Amino acid sequence: MKAVILTGGRGTRFAEETDHLPKPLIRVGEEPVIWHVMKIYAEAGINEFIMCLGYKGYLLKQYFIDYQIMHANLTVDMSTDERSIHGSLPEDWKVSLVDTGINTNTGGRLKRVKDWVGDETFSATYGDSLLDIDVRAVIEFHRSHGKLATVTRVKQRGMFGSLELDGDRVTDLREKALQDGDWINGGFFVLEPGVLDYIDGDETAWEQAPLRNLARDGQLMAYRHDGFWHPMDTIQEKRRLEEMWTSGEAPWKIWHDD
């Protein structure tokens, strides 16, 4: 299975850092937050990624071009410019970096990678939220219900749109005005290619009409995640994630170091 990661936003609430970097490259510990997201997928055996690039996308391209060199032992023969990497490579990821436009909305970005997704089930998420999700369990849940889309539901914290539910079926989405205990869109999806037909074009926000219409048609189901979930929308949230990581108490670190 391929994982599509939306990495094109401007991250305006990180202005001091995103003046120079796309938000997914902001570091949590020694690695950018996008690396943490990818490690969660890789733990479940998903190692093929499609990055939907936008704002400062060239820096994400550079990060992945340099990744193996920066994380491996290397010999450079400066007389011939030959380079040799020693030992095993740090990751076995295949990463496709697709320019989906500077101002394209989230739904439009998904639509633009239609040819990259093909006709198979795929995962999709954002490049800035961390959770201790069992990816295999979400995929199994998705395949069990036979609908077009699965969203991961998490308990609300802060200002997010909540999910109206009938059991595990999403019937509607509600903006703001949240109450304690509301379930919200946790930003982790498993999708069939048919969901792309619900997206009109570049201006479409995935979180608005497409999800609402999928819910209206009975095609959106919600996987319940009772564990850790933490977005990185502000500097304060980034600092909290950093504190967890440096203390060795990061709940989203579900992988084992080699």
pLDDT tens track for 65-92 = 999 888 888 899 999 988 888 877 779 9
**The pLDDT value given to residue 159:** 47
Give the residue-averaged pLDDT of 142-156.
Answer: 93
pLDDT tens digits along 14-52:
666 767 889 899 999 999 999 999 999 999 999 999 999
Is the pLDDT at 161 greater than 60, yes or no?
A: no
CA dihedral 36, 42, 46, 52 (to 10 degrees): 20
Q: Greater confidence, 90 or 213? A: 213
Residue bearing the bigger pLDDT, 165 or 212: 212
Look up tokens 């395949």; give the residue. Answer: 143
Q: Where are the domains of the chain?
A: 2-74+84-243
Could you give the CA distance from residue 11 to residue 5 in angstroms, rounded to a whole number?
15
Whether residue 3 has pLDDT greater than 90? yes
Output the CATH code of domain 2-74+84-243: 3.90.550.10
Q: Do residues 131 and 189 make contact, with C-beta atoms less than 8 angstroms apart?
A: no
Distance CA 136, CA 190 (A): 11
Which pLDDT does position 85 carry in this prediction?
85
Specify the DSSP class assigned to residue 161. Answer: P
The predicted structure's pLDDT at residue 123: 98
Mean pLDDT of 121-133: 94
Is the Cβ–Cβ distance between 182 and 162 less than 8 Å? yes
Residue 178 in this model has a pLDDT that exceeds 60: no
**Helix runs in the chain, H state only:** 15-18, 33-43, 57-71, 106-112, 114-117, 135-145, 209-216, 235-246
Strands (E), the chain: 2-6, 27-28, 31-32, 48-53, 73-77, 82-86, 94-99, 122-126, 129-131, 149-155, 162-166, 169-174, 183-191, 220-224, 229-231
Identity of the amino acid at 233: D
What is the rounded average pLDDT of the residues 176-192?
76
CA angle 59, 65, 68 (to 5 degrees): 125
